[in-house]
Amino acid sequence: MKILVLNCGSSSIKYQVLKMPEEELLIKGIIEKIGEERSIVEAKNSHKKIKVDKKISDHTEGIKEVLNTIKMAEFKVIESIEEISAIGHRVVHGGESFADSTVVTEKVIKAIEENIPLAPLHNPANLKGILACKGIMPDITQVAVFDTAFHQTLPEHAYLYALPMEYYHKYRIRRYGFHGTSHKYVAEKAAKMFGKPLKDLRIITAHLGNGASITAVKNGKSIDTSMGFTPLEGLIMGTRSGDIDPAIIVFLERNEGFTAGNIDKLLNKHSGILGLYEKSNDMRPIEEGYYKGKRLETLIMTMYAYRLTKYIGSYMAIMGGTDILAYTAGVGENTPPLRSLVGKRMRELGFGIDENLNKRVIKYGKEVDISSSEAKVRTFVIPTNEELAIARDTYILTKQVFL
């Protein structure tokens, strides 16, 4: 069965086609700058790569372009559209409506629409993708896989904020958490590596990309996570501040005349590594400077590791310890000094890292146990694969539809 996985943004479409259940990647691609004069169309698989400029006006044209690309004789992915059995969509916000992936129906479309106020940038784009596919292939099974779903198991005492209850009732202001597909995938992989069922383990998954979040997974369920009502809360990120004293916002309003729009930009786009470093939001130059002993880079690396350590410690406290800490995503998979700093700070709590493995792990490009032999808590590096996780859910749900 061939499954098309789509991640539709406001001006981009990322996609993959996977053969299931073999989990074989047949092609991956991206269309960027949709709606602009010159959109960029890229695709590659093991035997071919293309990159062309052409105008793609909207998501419907974009999806048609994706289908034409995967039909290209050179890629040999499909000969006709009928060979695509189902489509899996990444949908950012399922609100309180979805605790799991689901087959897209009219009711589901309505619920995604209703959750737009919670994710005004992402849900409309995800919906555009679903509706475009529906227009082009009316009979195909579509599955929505939500970034928030895995965290719907958070208990009330973890997801409520200590604000007047009326705002929860009126606007559903609460912790939702994000990156759920990745946290779930990594936790499942970590359990396999550990050799015990997920339901018997306490795992901390650290998804550290440009956006970053950390989750406490107890007995297979997310019981707390660092991103909150929006992806702004928690760890220091590429351009987001993570946790700050909310009174800073009031102070800036009073003293700088900031509006809601200014503050949103400041905290989401101009803070984090970018705010501190002022040159870029990328961890790579920070790592380089850290190795050379440069002051600012060392400070940023230390701050990043310190915030992460505080979260790891607090998640150990709520789970009564942890069996595994698993790092994933761009920064998590590729930054040895960060893992090393966290490991050293947590030594008294049973952490230990094999520094040789820690440095070499990038070369493997697959999951590695980097713990030292005496460590009581295992530290893993696990490349995330959200597209594969979406394809798996889509495959399972599509099989159920056909039965």
Residues tagged active-site: 147
Distance CA 402, CA 29 (A): 28
Task: Give least dist CB 336 to ligand ADP, A.
Answer: 9
Cβ partners under 8 Å of residue 30, min gap 6? 12, 13, 14, 15, 40, 42, 43
Which of 29, 88, 330, 352 lies at the binding interface for ligand ADP (CB under 6 A)?
330
| 334 contributes a contact to ligand ADP by CB under 6 A | yes
Which of 335, 379, 385, 394 lies at the binding interface for ligand ADP (CB under 6 A)?
335
Residue 84 or 283: the one with the smaller Cβ distance to ligand ADP is 283
| 211 contributes a contact to ligand ADP by CB under 6 A | yes
Residue type, 212: A
Task: Give least dist CB 11 to ligand ADP, A.
Answer: 15
Distance CA 346, CA 238 (A): 24
Residue 104 or 381: the one with the smaller Cβ distance to ligand ADP is 381
Cβ partners under 8 Å of residue 336, min gap 6? 358, 359, 361, 362
Distance CA 15, CA 6 (A): 5
Residue 151 or 218: the one with the smaller Cβ distance to ligand ADP is 151
Which of 61, 96, 188, 282 lies at the binding interface for ligand ADP (CB under 6 A)?
282
3-state secondary structure of 312: helix
Show the binding pattern over residues 108-147: x = contacts ligand ADP (CB under 6 A), - = does not: ----------------------------------------
Distance CA 398, CA 403 (A): 9
In this structure, the number of other CB atoms found within 10 A of the CB of residue 322 comes to 25
| 16 contributes a contact to ligand ADP by CB under 6 A | no
Which of 48, 54, 279, 284 lies at the binding interface for ligand ADP (CB under 6 A)?
284
| 329 contributes a contact to ligand ADP by CB under 6 A | yes
- Total residues in contact with ligand ADP, by rule CB under 6 A: 14
Write out the DSSP string of 83-125.
Answer: GEEEEEEEES--TTT-SS-EE--HHHHHHHHHTGGGSTTTHHH
Piece in contact with ligand ADP (CB under 6 A), picked from 82-90, 250-258, 283-291, 310-318: 283-291
Residue 151 or 174: the one with the smaller Cβ distance to ligand ADP is 151
**Angle in degrees, CA 365, 370, 372, rounded to 5:** 160
Task: Give least dist CB 330 to ligand ADP, A.
Answer: 2
| 283 contributes a contact to ligand ADP by CB under 6 A | yes
Judge contact between 223 and 216, C-beta under 8 A: yes
Distance CA 35, CA 11 (A): 7
Task: Give least dist CB 287 to ligand ADP, A.
Answer: 5
- Positions touching ligand ADP (CB under 6 A) are 209-211, 238, 281-284, 287, 329-331, 334-335
